[in-house]
Amino acid sequence: MAMKPSEIFHLVRVARPPAPYGARRLARCVTIEDVARVARRRLPLGARSYLENGGEGQHTLRRDRAAFRDVRFQPRQPCDVSDVDTSTTVLGRRIPLPFALSPVGAPRLMHYEGELAVARAARHAGIPYGISTLGNTSVEDVAAQTDTPLWFQMYVWGDRSRIKQAVARAKAAGFEALLLNIDTAVRSERVPEKHAGLTLPRPELSLTTLFEGALHPAWVWRFLTSPTVSFPNIGPPDQRSLEVMPDMFDGTVVWEDLDWIRRMWDGPIVLKGVTTVGQAAQAVDHGLDAVIVSNHGGRQLDHLPATIEVLPRIVDAVGDRAEVLVDSGFRRGTDITAALALGAKAVLLGRAHLYGLAAAGEAGVRHCIDILARELRMTMQLCGARSIADLDRGLVYQPPESGAAAVHR
Ligand SMILES: Cc1cc2nc3c(=O)[nH]c(=O)nc-3n(C[C@H](O)[C@H](O)[C@H](O)COP(=O)(O)O)c2cc1C
């Protein structure tokens, strides 16, 4: 006897009507690497090489990812992890996830909306967002998009009056913390960018650019029909300020400059680009509130250790005198879980949110945050951790310190 329609519906699940093409592609992305593949297809060569590559021989870039392969968890199961709390407190603010979105220069190369799309995604997730000195959207316009904590990342350079102006604008716009870089005395050599013919800050029109443009018409159309790319945070908001950029990496920054900024800014100051115990200890001695253990995503000095390798020693050196955040190479919930267990307060996501931005703007960034939130939660459950406070050193196997590791002190 034939089945009745009601019986058929018990046996099968009716698929939802297909979503629009971009959304469908995004929905199929299960990991950050899946989103990265979509992003790579969308971007022309110049933008792609700006996003993906590292400094010089790219050893730091590769080591950042490779180091996570050595992480070995020591789970505490069995225990009841039906209810997991991923919230934590960073720089005095309670946030639902232990993530923040990293500052990046020129995000409009990834997507025509740049910071505006990212700020809305950060707001949706309730997580902090760092705006770069070399951002393409003014601090005032970003602040209008979100009520989540905003951090302003400053490249400190010789022109004190411009630094003063930039800091004052960030303050007036309601930014909560300043991130000061110590890893960008000069800009490193990004060889693939040169091979791709990418010239910053002023893109060059060449045969390669035209060819790549023809292969990526959607990107080109959006780029050409949206407001001209500018760097409004290093000059008056209405100016393009391109002319200042080459002078910024002038190699003049010393600890006294950071002391000067400390006196100007009464909120939290975070030192970005710390890779040694010595730098972290000095940051604390100079009254800074937090450090970001970062090798700039492998984009600056080559042959640096992976941040996950040096993190525990830096956490030990700093103790409870400052917060320790970390970035560089984080693409999975397991990476984030390991860093939190080793003592980081939170993880900053660089490319892990930029892939989403390039793939689908705000929806793409939201998707990436969701992927990492889901993976973090799952890893915590599998490890037997109910809250961020449950993530401690005992969860990660740490080999006895070798002679090579001692060199990084
Ligand atoms: C395309 C790109 C641009 C960046 N621009 C800046 C910047 O302007 N200022 C800054 O402090 N860091 C910048 N960074 C570094 C990030 O803030 C962060 O440290 C790094 O991306 C972390 O590594 P990950 O990309 O592997 O997550 C940039 C990174 C990328 C990928």
pLDDT tens digits along 199-221: 765 667 778 888 888 899 999 89
Is residue 300 predicted with pLDDT exceeding 90?
yes
Hey, what long-range contacts does 276-279 have (CB within 8 A, 24 or more apart)? Answer: 276/310, 276/314, 276/408, 276/409, 277/310, 277/313, 277/314, 277/317, 277/409, 278/409, 279/182
- Res. 76 pLDDT band, cuts 50 70 90: very high
pLDDT at res. 188: 87
Residue type, 125: A
Q: What does the block give as tokens for 8?
A: 């058929």
Q: Are 310 and 289 in contact (CB under 8 A)?
A: no
Total-model pTM: 0.92
CB of 48 within 6 A of ligand 1: the answer is: no
Ligand 1 geometric centre to CA of 131 (Å): 11
Ligand 1 geometric centre to CA of 50 (Å): 10
Q: What is the mean pLDDT of residues 123-148?
A: 96
CB of 132 within 6 A of ligand 1: the answer is: yes
Burial group, residue 236, by CB count within 10 angstroms (0-12, 13-18, 19+): exposed
pLDDT at res. 182: 95
CB of 134 within 6 A of ligand 1: the answer is: yes
C-alpha span between 380 and 81 (Å, rounded): 8
Q: What does the block give as tokens for 4?
A: 């009745």
Mutate to test the pocket of ligand 1, among 43, 151, 299 (most ligand atoms within 8 A of CB): 299
Q: 15 or 269: whose pLDDT is higher? A: 269
pLDDT at res. 405: 47
Q: Tell me whether residue 124 is one of the annotated catalytic residues.
A: no
C-alpha span between 360 and 308 (Å, rounded): 30
Ligand 1 geometric centre to CA of 102 (Å): 6
List, for residues 86-98, the tens digit of each pLDDT value. 999 999 999 999 9
Residue from 296, 303, 353, 367 carrying the catalytic annotation: 296
| Average pLDDT score over the chain | 90
Ligand 1 geometric centre to CA of 298 (Å): 9
CB atoms inside a 10 Å sphere around CB 8 = 11
